[in-house]
């Protein structure tokens, strides 16, 4: 939680000081920008400088197979309906 608060404060401070550009994780940055109402101060450059794949892992010891399977179904549906492509 402290990390998230620190990241929000960094964004606000950088923008107040006339930040020219910031390299960041796209989804993390978009979340902070939206939640802190900074979208009128930030422009996303396209294409992305780099794309880093993300992975989700579940512990076998915790019996999370149902959760894993539910997530798989949602991700497949999002891929099939174009939601994932639209957000990349």
* Distance of alpha carbon 26 from alpha carbon 7, whole angstroms: 13
Place of tokens 């000081």: 17
DSSP letters for 63-84: T-HHHHHHHHHHHHHHHHTTHH
The pLDDT of residue 73: 93
The pLDDT of residue 85: 79
The pLDDT of residue 50: 81
The pLDDT of residue 76: 92
Q: What is the DSSP letter of 37?
A: T
- The model carries a pTM of 0.47
Residues of the chain predicted below pLDDT 50: 1
């Amino acid at each position: 939680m402290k990390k998230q608060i620190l990241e929000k404060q960094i964004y606000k401070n950088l923008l107040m000081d006339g930040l020219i550009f910031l390299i960041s994780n796209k989804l993390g940055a978009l979340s902070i920008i939206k939640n802190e109402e900074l979208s009128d101060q930030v422009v996303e450059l396209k294409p992305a400088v780099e794309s880093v794949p993300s992975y989700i892992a579940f512990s076998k010891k915790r019996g999370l197979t149902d959760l894993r399977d539910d997530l798989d179904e949602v991700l497949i549906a999002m891929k099939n309906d174009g939601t994932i492509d639209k957000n990349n």
